[in-house]
Structure 1
């Protein structure tokens, strides 16, 4: 923009400087020769948020509604740039309540739809997430955790939304909560979130954190060949004929696996009601006590099998059948824990490391083996109330003694400090 004369002068300066070094300091120049690449495969250089957005697009997501909030806004920016080319829409709403309810409406109409936010927005979405639960509508919510409560630390790191992601919706709700621990997993887990939302007809929350969502790293080229879109029990035609005043049994209590057939508005012979009120099998509002109990049980029961079908509920770096130390983390702590585990192993200690990737329903059996075979256990997390450790204790009876290593000043863990704290426990 400064014109050809400035560009030519700059090029001349660069070329003259290079020729001078080459002619007068040849040995110095040779010392800076780039070595051969040991691993020349192509890689991507991307933010965790970009991986999330790419995972959503790859899954076939056609609608995103969201309100800008740090540290999730890059997901919106990515979708604004690339969604239209895939036939999709990114709509900025006036607040997070609208964002969540618009995504529910789009999903009810048949689109793969999602929203992305941080802790304050997740709080505002709580009632709407319950609507998706009650109507058994697929919904994906990305929560990139930051410091709280209230507006808290908007640009600092924390992992304090764990209990909110699982329990903040009023009433008894069946959500699926998954937590990627690397940028690659951010891509694959977001893709899978849309499959799970449609298969189980429920909200799925992808729980990231600031360190992971805003971290930019080299990523091994993604394997699209292993990805498969699964839309669950979605029926578009061929339903048995119904006659007024009959309705389609959208919330069939006898459905296999407690997951009933899902139809889109306008499907022939698929007329039913959708309401946030408790309802009968066709969706009519109902306060019948037996129906209330049966429908509630149906919604809660259907997600239990996720534990058995979810691929890799734990990230496992656990080479020892029995360990001197087991280190447990979630989301963005994986990298620093890996460094600490490797250094302790070099000192002759048997150290196992797992990251919990499926938080709800909780993978009790997968984790319990490691808990029972460890002499010492530390849980590393970024909050003041040891939420991950509490979740483990709630789900694993009897639970061995857990030592919590906590940090909640907005900064990430560094290898030296985490190493020192692990040595204290040992």
Structure 2
């Protein structure tokens, strides 16, 4: 069990790095946040062979991005547009099974010094794990929550309109993961005007693949941190579950009527980065202030318009929708598997109402119902791992492929757009593929799909 002292370690090591730069962006590799990197628009870090992108060892090379066919981005447009070309004209292109911002890591599913060892791990339902395996999982999460990320920093500002106010902030590995979700969900800004219904991770065809990549990022980082290649993020099969059966002190934690998590649970002292304020013109302004962050809280089953979890039949009906997505490729799309899975569309494919993924967020309540910061609650991991399992079931059923990803006009959600804010560039279309290609599969659980 994690003590309050352990939970507070992370915040005692969080510091901020204030750079007087007009070029600042998001989940940047720490080594690419120097003034020289922004001035030259280059993020091609040296690998351990002392060459950019490990070129002397044949791992990759520093390349210039081809000119974008998009219109020139106005000076005060959203800083995430055309990721990462808006800031870096030169980045690493990795060869073979190598990956990472400096080609120093392996592609998902590969391991070893030469990234030549393929490994497929099994994601299991949280209740399938033994008591020891559950404790190991929670211990790994505690370590990720209290260990400062050595490779990445996050962006903080109270004024997105003025780049000189941007600053980089150290954060724990888990909080970097949380911040990536928060950052991608901030409203898109065009010509200094915010479009609240548009973001880079939801309400369009990017939704299932972006969240798949988000989980893979954290999973891989924990594998590297713990040197445990077998680590996977378990899932929570919430179909027709009553009263959140995993909300026990042995698992995710009980809570009182105010949503306060029991102090004897693992997560009672977790604080939520980027909480407290949610204005469109800011990026996590209190990222370095522990005591102004609210604690993670939870109130399952107390929201009148979300009295129940989605059912077995809801999932089956969603899987019957053969089209990955349909025009206009947003929250109003009908007969769209993606929109039904995301939860803006009923599983019948014809009625626009909250369901599936969105319904679970609302049902759990508390931090989970505040979608921009919802990943602060570890419940998010188990929920989205199951959403990913449903996505995988759809891929298997209809033999989905990258060609399935539709051309669309949603900003940042095109098939060849780089997923924001990941390094290196992962194209949105690359995540409609079998999970085994990415190094994992799902266990078979009761009443499986």
Q: Please identify which structure carries the higher strand content.
A: 1
Give the structure-1-normalised TM-score: 0.25
Give the number of the structure with larger relative contact order, counting CA–CA contacts within 8 Å between residues 6 or more apart: 2
Structure showing greater Rg: 1
